Amino acid sequence: MFNGIQYNVAGNTLLQIFINRPASPQFINGRYIHYNQQYVFNQLKQINDLRNRIAHHEPICFAVNNNISTKSTHNARDQYAIVMTLFNWLDINAADLLFGLDHVLKVCDKIDRL
């Protein structure tokens, strides 16, 4: 629903569900960030891409540098942070919602120790 066409058809109002979304623009790390439809779409796309990798049983804890794969949980941790940020923007208490289910960082830590 945050793709350009669907977003426009829905009346450009979907961003209102993110009641805790930061004001735009913000100057961060030497550049302005606009927390607009495109920004939210890109965040959701990253999460969906990870979901697709998981659904297709593709590896998610590797980084490829110069055609050499190395163990890395960096991407999984980044995507987890995006999900937690969006939960916050939606005013969802992630601790309550994921109680007993949220083991992502523990598993990443375990993989990093291997």
pLDDT per residue as tens digits for the range 39-84:
988 899 999 999 999 999 988 888 777 777 788 999 999 999 999 9
Residue 21 pLDDT greater than 90, yes or no: yes
- Looking at residue 11, its pLDDT comes to 72
Find the radius of gyration of the CA atoms of the chain.
Answer: 16
How many domains in the chain?
A: 1
Per the structure, the complete domain to which residue 65 belongs is given by: 4-113
How far apart, in whole angstroms, are the C-alpha atoms of residue 37 and residue 2? Answer: 6
- 5-19, 29-43, 98-112: least confidently modelled range: 5-19
Higher pLDDT: 69 or 18? It is 18
How far apart, in whole angstroms, are the C-alpha atoms of residue 8 and residue 65? Answer: 39
Structure tokens at 41: 């779409």
How far apart, in whole angstroms, are the C-alpha atoms of residue 43 and residue 83? Answer: 9
Mean pLDDT of 17-26: 91
| Phi, psi for residue 38 in degrees, rounded to 5 | -65, -40
